[in-house]
Amino acid sequence: MTYFYEGILNTKNVPYKVRPLTTKDIGQVLALQDIVIDALENKQILQPLDFDEFKYITEGKGMIIGAFAEDELIAFRALMIPPIDEEHLGLDIGLKKEELQEVIYQEISIVHPGYRGNRLQKKMAELIMQQLSIIGSSFKYVCCTVMPFNIPSLKDKFSQGMIIRALKEKYEDRLRYVFVKELGKPPEKEWDETRELPMGDIKGQQALLEQGWAGFKMEQRDGEYWVMYGKKTTLRKKDGC
């Protein structure tokens, strides 16, 4: 398999290479996923994928890219074409049923604990979205979910220009933000109205989202995380991006 990107890990001063992963790589993917889960203090932060889900992606329902250093898989990131069902994230952000086929998910993103501090999560996000555009994708929206207070993942999504459009229970009653980005469209920077709420104020955020507000930024103040919400009066209620 051909590598399409090469870089340097600043913390270790060693090179790494990135390539698409295939079904043959799933064993390494699962092993790395287990290492990351074992290192988590709160296991609910990560929604892991199993062998069949990774196989589904590598057999044409998305893509996975992996970063290798010294022949070891140290990070991977996945996109998945979701099945059209009642749990589809497009429904959570207000898309119509006929628009759901235009949605692709940003799935799991994993970085080996020993290689953190190299901004690999951000770089892998850039690379996988570049690969999506190279293959001539017809997708219009990218969606994903993040658990409140999963600060690294929240920073990752906001840095990509994704916005929060829902906050609800997913994956067997696990509370999740639902993020979306309209591909090919610059992030919204001008809002007619803005409000700020503590991340722990779940009901307050849900009320704003139901009224058509969107979470576009996160800040930490005096040890507490706040989410900035904006509203465009020209937008329909919960109409996606």
* Pairwise pLDDT comparison (76 vs 41), residue with the higher score: 76
Overall average pLDDT of the 174-189 stretch: 90
What per-residue confidence (pLDDT) applies to 234? Answer: 63
- Asked whether residue 127 falls in the same domain as residue 220, the answer is no
Q: Are residues 208 and 89 in the same domain?
A: no
177 within domain boundaries: yes
Structure tokens, 109:
């993103």
Residues 115 and 197 in one domain: no
**What confidence tens digit (pLDDT) does each residue in 141-169 have?**
999 999 999 999 999 999 999 999 999 99
Domain count, the chain: 2
**Whether pLDDT at 239 is above 50:** no
Question: Which of 148, 166, 187 lies at the terminal end of a domain, its last residue?
Answer: 187
- 137 and 114 co-located in one domain: yes
Q: What percent of the chain has pLDDT over 90?
A: 83
Residue 241 within a domain? no
pLDDT of residue 95: 96
Q: Which structural domain range is residue 22 located in?
A: 5-187
Q: What is the pTM of this model?
A: 0.89
pLDDT at position 236 over 60: no
pLDDT at 188: 81
Mean pLDDT (the chain, rounded)? 92
**Mean pLDDT, residues 189-208:** 96
Q: Which helix (H) or strand (E) holds 209?
A: helix 202-210
- How large is the angle between the packed helices 26-39 and 51-58, nearest 10 degrees? 130
Output the pLDDT for position 137: 74
Count, residues in the chain: 241
Q: What's the per-residue H, E or C state across 125-190? A: HHHHHHHHHHCCCCCCEEEEEECCCCHHHHHHHHHCCCEEEEEEEECCCEEEEEEEEECCCCCCCC
In this prediction, residues 222-238 reach a mean pLDDT of: 80
Where are any strands of DSSP class E within the chain? 5-9, 14-20, 62-69, 72-80, 103-111, 141-146, 163-170, 174-182, 193-198, 214-221, 224-231
Residues 100 and 202 in one domain: no
Cα 9-12-69 angle, rounded to 5 deg: 60
58 and 98 part of one domain = yes
Give 22's contacts (C-beta < 8 A, 6+ positions apart).
1, 58
Same domain, 120 and 224: no
- The pLDDT assigned to 150 comes to 93
- pLDDT tens digits along 21-62: 999 999 999 999 999 999 998 888 888 999 999 999 999 999
Name the amino acid, one letter, at 182: E
Same domain, 159 and 96: yes
pLDDT at 235: 46
Q: Is residue 240, in this structure, part of any structural domain at all?
A: no
Which whole-number Å values give the CA distances from 15 to 8, 37, 101, 190, in the listed order? 4, 25, 38, 40
Residues 117 and 216 in one domain: no
Mark whether 58 and 161 lie in a shared domain.
Answer: yes
CA 192, CA 185: separation in Å to the nearest integer? 19
pLDDT single digits (tens) 82-126: 999 999 999 999 999 999 999 999 999 999 999 999 999 999 999
Per-residue pLDDT at 241: 38
Residue 55 lies in a domain: yes
Looking at the fold, whether 226 and 153 belong to one and the same domain comes out as no
CATH of the domain at 166: 3.40.630.30
Asked whether residue 89 falls in the same domain as residue 51, the answer is: yes
Asked if the structure places residue 152 within a domain, the reply is yes
